[in-house]
Structure 1
């Protein structure tokens, strides 16, 4: 209640006489005294007379009486200065509230003018007394009902808990809080949140508060940790994801906490989730969003167990686990594709060994073409080898082994792509210049083996990118396929798109562009008409190495399954294509040598063309 107190110029005082109960309260005023008396408190009993500052030139004062029955708190403000008549005694269960005006008495000169309740004017006349009656109700239940109907309901709960002037456990029907006082020398705290009786103790969340929460500018700080079992305060409009029942709110008195050097850790206990559901830690900042909007940023999800998930967050607000159906990790015909790939990789491993022996035996001395070919064969061999072992090693579920295997698999893939790019540019240089380059050998090794090593080492220095990856069969979501590869995280996906997809794009685009320029360059040469099929066959095989990987860029849409099959078949047989290519050209060379022995003019022309074409390898 607020109003204007019309008084005399003499000394004035604030008189109070308050008792526990729920009978009535009177707010009255005369020439020298503003009086509040009656029985509406839960525990507070107070009788006092407080002298007020006087000003001989002032004959009226503005005042307000604030009553918070849930906290048993009464404050009177006169001319902007606050006087606490009843301190907070914690959150009250039964209290006197719903005060309604029962009686009022008019005055002639001194009293209360322009009396109002919550801004609504009661009377503009000068009144000597206002009398209010209240009802005894369950304050906690009413407060929770009001909070659940407002968007800022969760904030209301934390604010009233902070005002309760307590430390330790504070119970409400809609939430259970713990108030922790942080003092000098705070080194961190790990504790279990309080929970209602209906929840098993081992199912309540646990919270770790790091030492960096201690403010440098305050001697003591209060941290409110609230456990919400009822998620009606945090309704979310989207239907593709669901919040788990447990929600935890963390806040520090009069401070905004973000970008913590050491994260706050909240461990949630929940029932086992089906394999087709993903779980991620989310947070909602009421100061950032007026409506409930759960965000992934600022929190890292750590899956401790099938029934335990830990959220490591660098800020304080409201935290929960969001679950949704995971569609992207589901693959159709995964077992068939895995078998096809295993067979293809086995054949490619044998082909790479045979081809490498052939290239080493074929010619001695320094030959840059053979150096590039051998580099690509070695990278392809290790790619097929790592991919063949990844599922076997992943089934052991050893995190260290899987991390090493995933790192080697990623390195061998990047090395293969880099050597493919080196092969294409080297061949293009030979066709355009009709001679070998003078680049030192270490440039080729650096491009094929060194650059991928730098990229992988950079990823390892940033964070955890590699480990155990689980993929589900869409035919049976209860079955999981394990492989050692890049983890399913935002950073890993970003690295995948930037590095792998970037290199694939370079391979495919460079193969197409170079084929166009080569065809344009040799089109007007005299040997074109007789040997154009030979040129296209050689360059067709070269571009095949790039375009097959291009299938990976377009594995979506109605024909995605067919593209997946082609991708697995062709790329697992990558080593076989290498061997067939060199075998075909070796046969052409032998026929050329036999024709040269015959001495025909036509044979001379064809073999002269082959001498040029042989460099295109």
Structure 2
């Protein structure tokens, strides 16, 4: 007949539409025919007669019976026996017929009550999709179906005895896999189909393998491992006992996807840095885990997923990630939040996750935040800080001893303040790695704040040293500020930004520095975290303080040179003054090297930065003893004479300081 030929011609198109045209709800069906059954109001029956194959489907109704007859099943089995429906006071009943071809399930809903005509079978290789409308019988009497519709499309508002549909057979698994792996919003259809089916145990398909388990009262955890014909084994799972919902049985579906393009199309949102990154790839396997009618998060005992993969180069990082389709159904967004990565072997990675969704291993190919020669730099830093700390102790002792003899030495309190700040900075920097590994995040919040405070305090004391030098040389006839003012600037000012930042939880804590030759074994230290807020705090405090100190020192040097370059005293003591000021410029200027750690010279600059700045306490000690030697030589030449101009006396006093 003409209508049949036309239906067959558009069957291929409609099959895909009905298979994939589901809405976003959890109970979406592939076929849905609804209407109002006008009956006599007496005893009613639901009758079915279904056979294996793919042909016609007839839905009819009369005064007492709603019938579903046809050839639509993928497997040969008996449909349900006649079902007696509850009595109703009215003569009209709303009903819907649902057909799910992928799992061979047919359900009928009458007056809000659901009746299963065909229980779900396994996933079908070939399935029948009932999509094309056939010829419908005209009205013969007052009983039948009115307002018949397919989904939301009304077929007829008249009373009809039956509705006919023409089925077409397709390779259901193939079409299903192709569509489910092309659109991100359709991926979870696979889990939903297995959840609705009557399957228990393993499931095989062209695009995935799966396992369906039932968690009953005796469930105490379960290990899931599927065999495969691949050379590499599938991931293995451990499901903890806490996965089971309290007070009821539930199915859990585990799905293993053989990697396809859809999972590599998305982005990776780095939670620590709070930004999306695209320089990654997903390893071959993706695992999805779902519990029936449950949203699982914050498990007290994590699920364990062991991924086996080819050995990766040491400069490629591995991170356990997940994609939650409920939060972002239209775009694949991988996140590391809620998962802990355990590197058990070079070809095996274990993920410990406290929630359920899709999981995989993300490999970052291009490393932009790694440190070259980290082991050597760590060793240099430790040795340099240890030498500086010892030098600071020696210098502090000498300054205290000198103050007892010369109580009017105005520079001694400033030197002592700088020495104390540098000593604290050196000791904390040496111990930060040990404290990070022993104390973890809680200890690192305190140590990181202290380390930041000592760094800012050292920079402030460098500024005080430069300011005091300027005052003694340029403000010859003015008394310098009291030592209390210097101590407030050196120790009090840094406490203000640190006190503000320590109130936030996202600034100080554990910080991992990844070596470029072994990115999966980072060096842990206590410092500012690696996120956008911490980086903003770094620029507003550390970089800002450094720029202020260096720029102020250069400006003061220029003013002093223009002021005294024509004095006789300057001509006589030019070498001594330049030596003194050059050593004073050490207070801060070398830290500017940290601003040039980029490009091809990054590693070289980093080595210079570590060597010079970790030995700063040692250089300050050398400066002090060099000036002391110059002072004693001048005193021996003057032979105790107190003659000389006021300016000569002031410059001499400066050299002593």
TM-score normalised by length of structure 2 = 0.71
Does the 8 Å CA contact 1:368/1:436 hold for their aligned counterparts?
Answer: no
Does the 8 Å CA contact 1:359/1:374 hold for their aligned counterparts?
Answer: no
| Distance in 2 (alpha carbons) for counterparts of 1:105 and 1:234 | 49
Shift, 1:242, TM fit: 1.2
Shift, 1:243, TM fit: 1.0
SS, match of residue 570 in structure 1: helix
Does the 8 Å CA contact 1:76/1:83 hold for their aligned counterparts?
Answer: yes
Range with bigger deviation, 223-232 or 278-287: 223-232
| Distance in 2 (alpha carbons) for counterparts of 1:320 and 1:521 | 64
1:577 and 2:619 correspond: yes
Shift, 1:229, TM fit: 1.9
Shift, 1:158, TM fit: 1.4
1:160 is aligned to: 193
| Distance in 2 (alpha carbons) for counterparts of 1:581 and 1:326 | 45
2:45 is aligned to: 14
SS, match of residue 106 in structure 1: coil
Distance 1:361 1:112, change over 3 A: same
Range with bigger deviation, 573-582 or 115-124: 115-124
Does the 8 Å CA contact 2:508/2:527 hold for their aligned counterparts?
Answer: no
1:249 is aligned to: 288
2:6 is aligned to: none
Alignment of 1:155-194 (within 5 A): 155-182=188-215, 189=221, 191-194=223-226
1:471 and 2:538 correspond: no
1:229 and 2:258 correspond: yes
SS, match of residue 325 in structure 2: coil
Shift, 1:156, TM fit: 0.7
| Distance in 2 (alpha carbons) for counterparts of 1:447 and 1:489 | 19
Does the 8 Å CA contact 2:107/2:118 hold for their aligned counterparts?
Answer: yes
Does the 8 Å CA contact 1:504/1:549 hold for their aligned counterparts?
Answer: no
1:128 and 2:161 correspond: yes
Cα deviation, 1:80-115, whole Å, max 9, x if unaligned, reads: 433222222343445444565555433323333454
Distance 1:414 1:181, change over 3 A: farther
1:298 is aligned to: 338
1:75 is aligned to: 107
| Distance in 2 (alpha carbons) for counterparts of 1:337 and 1:82 | 70
Does the 8 Å CA contact 1:270/1:307 hold for their aligned counterparts?
Answer: yes
| Distance in 1 (alpha carbons) for counterparts of 2:182 and 2:531 | 41
1:111 and 2:144 correspond: yes
Range with bigger deviation, 487-496 or 372-381: 487-496
Does the 8 Å CA contact 2:147/2:157 hold for their aligned counterparts?
Answer: yes
Distance 1:528 1:304, change over 3 A: farther
Cα deviation, 1:540-564, whole Å, max 9, x if unaligned, reads: 5334231211321342357756644
Does the 8 Å CA contact 1:2/1:116 hold for their aligned counterparts?
Answer: yes
| Distance in 2 (alpha carbons) for counterparts of 1:197 and 1:483 | 36
Shift, 1:599, TM fit: 2.9
Range with bigger deviation, 99-108 or 26-35: 99-108
2:248 is aligned to: 219
| Distance in 2 (alpha carbons) for counterparts of 1:260 and 1:334 | 37
1:547 and 2:589 correspond: yes
1:272 is aligned to: 311
Cα deviation, 1:443-487, whole Å, max 9, x if unaligned, reads: 9999999x99xx99x99x997556xx5523xxxx6x899885539
| Distance in 1 (alpha carbons) for counterparts of 2:96 and 2:382 | 81
Of 584, 587, 593, the residue aligned with 2:635 is 593
Distance 1:580 1:7, change over 3 A: closer
2:236 is aligned to: 205
Distance 1:94 1:578, change over 3 A: same
Distance 1:556 1:204, change over 3 A: same
Distance 1:95 1:7, change over 3 A: same
Distance 1:381 1:247, change over 3 A: closer
Of 77, 82, 87, the residue aligned with 1:48 is 82
Query: Root-mean-square deviation (CA), in Å?
Result: 5.3
Cα deviation, 1:182-233, whole Å, max 9, x if unaligned, reads: 45686x63523435433644x423244362x4545x5344433322223344
1:150 is aligned to: 183
Of 416, 434, 437, the residue aligned with 2:480 is 434
| Distance in 1 (alpha carbons) for counterparts of 2:508 and 2:623 | 41
| Distance in 1 (alpha carbons) for counterparts of 2:377 and 2:40 | 96
SS, match of residue 47 in structure 1: coil
| Distance in 2 (alpha carbons) for counterparts of 1:302 and 1:497 | 31
Does the 8 Å CA contact 1:89/1:165 hold for their aligned counterparts?
Answer: yes
Does the 8 Å CA contact 1:267/1:309 hold for their aligned counterparts?
Answer: yes
| Distance in 2 (alpha carbons) for counterparts of 1:343 and 1:354 | 17
Range with bigger deviation, 17-26 or 357-366: 357-366
| Distance in 2 (alpha carbons) for counterparts of 1:327 and 1:338 | 20
| Distance in 2 (alpha carbons) for counterparts of 1:421 and 1:552 | 17
| Distance in 1 (alpha carbons) for counterparts of 2:357 and 2:534 | 30
| Distance in 1 (alpha carbons) for counterparts of 2:229 and 2:604 | 56
Distance 1:9 1:470, change over 3 A: closer
1:288 is aligned to: 327
SS, match of residue 361 in structure 2: strand
| Distance in 2 (alpha carbons) for counterparts of 1:257 and 1:131 | 43
Distance 1:481 1:375, change over 3 A: farther
| Distance in 2 (alpha carbons) for counterparts of 1:9 and 1:408 | 82
| Distance in 2 (alpha carbons) for counterparts of 1:486 and 1:380 | 14
| Distance in 2 (alpha carbons) for counterparts of 1:566 and 1:439 | 34
Cα deviation, 1:274-315, whole Å, max 9, x if unaligned, reads: 223222222222222122222333333333322222333343
What is the total number of aligned residue pairs between the two structures? 593
Alignment of 1:304-453 (within 5 A): 304-329=344-369, 368-369=413-414, 371-372=416-417, 374-375=419-420, 378=423, 415=454, 418-422=457-461, 424-425=463-464, 428=467, 434=480, 437=483
Does the 8 Å CA contact 1:112/1:126 hold for their aligned counterparts?
Answer: yes
| Distance in 1 (alpha carbons) for counterparts of 2:386 and 2:34 | 90
Does the 8 Å CA contact 1:221/1:253 hold for their aligned counterparts?
Answer: yes
Shift, 1:48, TM fit: 0.5
Cα deviation, 1:336-364, whole Å, max 9, x if unaligned, reads: 98999899889879977876786577665
Does the 8 Å CA contact 2:459/2:545 hold for their aligned counterparts?
Answer: no
| Distance in 1 (alpha carbons) for counterparts of 2:618 and 2:130 | 86
Shift, 1:518, TM fit: 9.7
SS, match of residue 173 in structure 1: coil
